[in-house]
Amino acid sequence: MRKFAVIGLGRFGGALARNLAQRGAEVIAIDKDSKLIDEIKEEVTLAVRLDSTDEEALRSQGVSQVDVAIVSIGGDFEASVLTTALLKRMGVKTVITRASRTASHIQERILELVGADRVVLPEVEMGEKLAQSLLISNVLDYIPISEKYSAAEVYSPRSFWGKTIREVKVREKYKVTILQIKKISGEGEKGKVKRINYFPQPSDVIEKGDILLVVGEEKDIEHFSEQK
C-alpha cells in the first residue's frame, strides 16, 4: 500500500485526499484548520492539525516515511516553499506542490529550485483534461500523467466483446496497456460497477459494457478509443 501525505485541505487538497483514500491508499491529511480536519478525519488514515513549516511536527506524524507528499496550501506561497523544502530535506522521495492559478513562472521556478518534483496548476490541468475528454471519442475520463503518457477510461469496443486481451492483441496492435476492467451491471451511464478486475491477465475476457482503464501515449489512446 502506497503512503501519501496531503498538506492543505482546501477544495483541491481535500478532494485529492478523499480520492486517494477511497482507492485504498494510506493517507495522512494535514491542515492548520481544525474544522477541515474534523470534516475529513473519518475518511483518511490520519488527519492531524499542525503547522507544516514545523519539521519536528511533520516527523512526529510519520510524514518523512510517505512515498508521495502533495503540498496544496492555497494563498500562502511562503508556506508552500518552506513546506516543500522541508519535505525534501526529510527525505520524501516525491513532492508535488500546487501553485495557484495566479502564480508566476518565477514562483513555479522557485518551487522547483527548493525541490518540488512537480508543480501543478489544477485549473490548467483540469482544462486540459476536459478538452481531451471532449475531443477523444468514446472516452469517459482522461487523466494526463506526464507530458508523454496519459490514462483514460474507455468503453469496450463492440469488436472486442467475448474476446480475451490476448486475442485482441491490445499491446501489439494499439500500444496501450489495460490496467483495470470495470464490470458494469445495467446499460450506459445508469449502470453500476459490480466488480473491478485490477491488472487483468491476457486470458481475461472483455465483455459488453466493460469500462477499460488504459494507459499509453495520447495518440495511441485516441486510436484505441476509435475502435468499433
Do 131 and 219 fall into the same domain? yes
Domain final position from 88, 120, 152: 120
Total domain count, the chain: 2
Whether the predicted pLDDT of 1 surpasses 80:
no
Domain boundary at 94, 120, 146, which?
120
Per the listing, cell 496519459 goes with: 150
pLDDT of 78-88, one tens digit each? 999 999 999 99
Are residues 138 and 87 located together in one domain of the fold?
A: no
Place of cell 469500462: 211
As given in the structure block, the three cell numbers for residue 112 are: 522547483
Radius of gyration of the chain (CA): 20
User: Would the pTM count as exceeding 0.85?
Assistant: no
Which residues face 118 on adjacent strands? 96
What CATH number does residue 154 fall under?
3.30.70.1450
In a shared domain, residues 144 and 167? yes
Note the Cα 222 to chain centre separation in Å: 20
Mean pLDDT across the chain: 87
Are both 169 and 142 inside the same structural domain? yes
- The answer for 79, left when phi > 0, alpha when psi is -120 to 50, beta otherwise, is alpha
**CATH at residue 68:** 3.40.50.720
Indicate whether 130 and 116 sit together in one domain: no
103 and 204 in a single domain? The answer is: no
* Residue 46 three-state SS: strand
Give residue 41's domain range.
Answer: 3-120
Q: Are residues 54 and 157 in the same domain?
A: no
Residues 100 and 34 in one domain: yes
* Rounded CA separation 195/33 (Å): 37
Residues 97 and 135 in one domain: no
pLDDT per residue as tens digits for the range 92-147: 999 999 887 666 688 888 999 999 998 887 766 666 665 655 556 677 777 777 66
Which strands make up the sheet holding 3-7, listed edge to edge?
A: 46-49, 26-31, 3-7, 68-71, 94-98, 118-120
115 and 154 part of one domain:
no
Domain boundary, last residue among 57, 89, 120: 120
3-state secondary structure of 31: strand
Is the pLDDT assigned to residue 9 strictly greater than 60?
A: yes
116 and 10 in one domain?
yes
Q: Which residues pair with 27 in a beta bridge?
A: 4
Phi-psi region of 85 (alpha: psi -120 to 50; beta: other; left: phi over 0): alpha
Please list, in sequence order, all residues whose beta carbon lies within 8 angstroms of the beta carbon of residue 103, skipping any fewer than 6 positions away.
Answer: 77, 121
Domain shared by 156 and 189, yes or no? yes
